């Protein structure tokens, strides 16, 4: 059976980073964007990373421009924005696609492991997202595609997918799930 360690991610400066380099760590894989309503989650992610990385936790940040062109700019510009505005220190990879014919093989696998379940009912952005998706594709709820920026996958130390968190999931709940498996 495949695990996350069977995949690689494109490095910002070229080449590939083997995810087997992270063997034995708890991972949170995030598709991100710098101009999104969820972009402030970078602050929560960095705080979580600071608190938990010494316990074997890594965040793998994959910028993605597929959702409303909300990750414009080069990889260097994205990194500069994240570093200057949020002080991010976790690994950030090359801007990549997470859906469609150009999607990273990692995302094909992640979505097969944990499909979309629902947006959080108590998030103020949920009605807006649902309305937008209902207009675009009435069957969107049944598809495993990544719906928006800041979708997160929690990977256990054995390389298996334990959970998928949509961007509407409260970050405190995400951190609690990470802590529970550390």
Secondary structure (3-state) at 41 = helix
Distance CA(139)–CA(128), nearest Å, equals 17
- Residue with the two structure tokens 């995949």: 7
Catalytic residue among 36, 62, 106, 146: 36
64 is catalytic: no
Task: State how far the Cα of 175 lies from the Cα of 177, in Å rounded to an integer.
Answer: 5
- Tell me how far apart the alpha carbons of residues 161 and 126 are, in angstroms, rounded to a whole number: 24
Active-site residues: which are they?
A: 36
């Amino acid at each position: 059976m495949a695990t996350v360690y069977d995949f690689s991610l494109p490095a910002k400066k070229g080449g590939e980073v083997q995810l087997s380099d992270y063997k034995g760590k708890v991972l949170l894989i995030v598709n991100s964007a710098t101009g999104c309503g969820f972009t402030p989650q970078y602050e929560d992610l960095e705080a979580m990373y600071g608190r938990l990385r010494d316990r074997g936790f890594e965040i793998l940040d994959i910028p993605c421009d597929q959702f409303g062109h909300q990750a414009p700019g080069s990889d260097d510009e994205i990194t500069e924005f994240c570093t200057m505005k949020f002080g991010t220190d976790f690994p950030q990879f090359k801007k990549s696609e997470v859906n469609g014919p150009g999607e990273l093989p990692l995302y094909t696998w992640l979505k097969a492991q944990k499909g979309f379940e629902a947006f959080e009912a108590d998030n103020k952005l949920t009605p807006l997202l649902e309305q937008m998706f209902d207009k675009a594709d009435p069957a969107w709820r049944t598809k495993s595609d990544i719906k928006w920026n800041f979708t997160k996958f929690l990977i256990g130390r054995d390389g298996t997918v334990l959970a998928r968190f949509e961007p509407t999931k409260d970050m405190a709940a995400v951190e609690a799930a990470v802590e529970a498996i550390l």
